Amino acid sequence: MSLRLSNALIVPLFLLFSASSVAQMPTPAAPIIGAKSYLVIDSKTGHEIAALNADQPLAPASLTKMMTTYVVFSALKQGHITLEEEVTVSEKAWRTEGSRMFIEVGKRVKVQDLLLGMIVQSGNDASVALAEHIAGTESVFAEMMNQHAVALGMHASHFRNATGLPAKNHTTTARDLATLSRAIIEEFPNYYKWHAMKEFTFNSIRQSNRNSLLWRDDSVDGLKTGYTEAAGYCLVTSAIRDDMRIISVVLGTSSIKARVDGSQALLNYAFRFFETRLLFKAGEKISNARVWKSEKLYSGLGVSEDLYITVRRGSYDHLKSQLNIPAIVMAPLAAGQPVANLSISLDGEELLQTPLRALDDNPMGKFWQRTKDTVSLWFE
């Protein structure tokens, strides 16, 4: 079907992109940090701000617990378990090596306490106890982890356990972990807040969150640390400043200081040189489409969800838009039906492309309207 450029967006988009008079800032390269891999994205848009070997499969260490957390949160949301129900601690969970929250074999512990022990204290014992409670065995739970990973689009990840303890072919990537971070933040906001807890006490033992950025930077509210000899020192961080949330994934540094300093540098870089703006609100009329043989001559077009864009700071005024509408749009139209395509570019590079949808139903017109439009289309 032939496409034509609609002039309907020239005025509103021009006004939108001219709202700020801030001069365009030069954008330097991202800071160099001692990591095997890293990725920095805007959480709302998914826009990639900086990256190094972001698709390289690496051992995730305790970052694995992010996927364990996601599976448990999903089970809670679906009503399969509750925060108050109790889990009987198995000998396997009790004996799990590495970091722990010090649960005792045979004792019953609430799901919420186990979650806090896993998220705040990075308890391997808590991770295994939750895995066994949900799936029967940790190996079956690992299959669930992989199924959720595929559903989220984490196609380069494969999990063998719930803890991140070394295992053959237990790998993920910085990109997949960024995808997982966005999912946790967006799907489970009420549970995500636990990642900001600086300490948790269980069985009269108080342990601090290993994410020291929670103390250094007030904008940081998550997510997870990790370390094994094979993985190195890793950190997934999320921070929010002025309604802009940044996710940073840093893998394979040489020390705790390196992962913290590197993550802080990447966060500061992202917030200093990039910004995320709202382009259009859901349901806002962006343009009109002429609809033939319809009850209403025109249908309003818009987006079904709030549309944001992440750009270099100061470049917002330089955005360009192009709206492509089919030469002939025929009735009937259903609300939400894609009709046109909106493209936003900067300096010749397309930044985003999204369909514009009918905001309301526009059914077939009466016989006389259909007949009139049929004749008009002969000349159109």
- Sign of torsion over alpha carbons 99, 167, 58, 72: negative
Structure tokens at 235: 């950190």
- Sign of torsion over alpha carbons 143, 148, 154, 155: positive
Distances in Å between the alpha carbon of 304 and those of 268, 308, 336? 32, 12, 7
Beta bridge mates, 352: 344
Strand 329-330 versus strand 287-292 pairing type:
parallel
The catalytic residue among 62, 127, 157, 238 is 62
Closest CA to 317 of 44, 23, 28: 23
Q: Can you tell me the distance from the alpha carbon of 197 to that of 121, in angstroms, rounded to the nearest whole number? A: 10
Beta bridge mates, 4: 325
Q: Can you tell me the distance from the alpha carbon of 233 to that of 236, in angstroms, rounded to the nearest whole number? A: 11
The catalytic residue among 44, 65, 224, 293 is 65
Whether residue 88 contacts residue 111, with contact meaning beta carbons closer than 8 Å, is answered with: no
The question of whether 204 is a catalytic residue gets the answer: no
Tell me, rounded to whole angstroms, the distance of Cα 193 from its chain centroid.
15
Whether residue 356 contacts residue 286, with contact meaning beta carbons closer than 8 Å, is answered with: yes
Within the chain, what is the greatest distance between any pair of CA atoms? 84
12 contact partners, CB below 8 Å, separation of at least 6: 286
The catalytic residue among 6, 43, 99, 122 is 122
Where would I find the beta strands (DSSP E) of the chain? 3-5, 37-42, 48-52, 86-88, 108-110, 199-202, 205-208, 220-228, 232-241, 244-253, 274-280, 287-292, 298-302, 307-312, 320-326, 329-330, 338-346, 349-358
The question of whether 122 is a catalytic residue gets the answer: yes
Whether residue 233 contacts residue 227, with contact meaning beta carbons closer than 8 Å, is answered with: yes
The question of whether 320 is a catalytic residue gets the answer: no
Distances in Å between the alpha carbon of 6 and those of 10, 171, 288, 318? 8, 48, 9, 20
User: Any idea which residues carry the catalytic annotation?
Assistant: 62, 65, 122
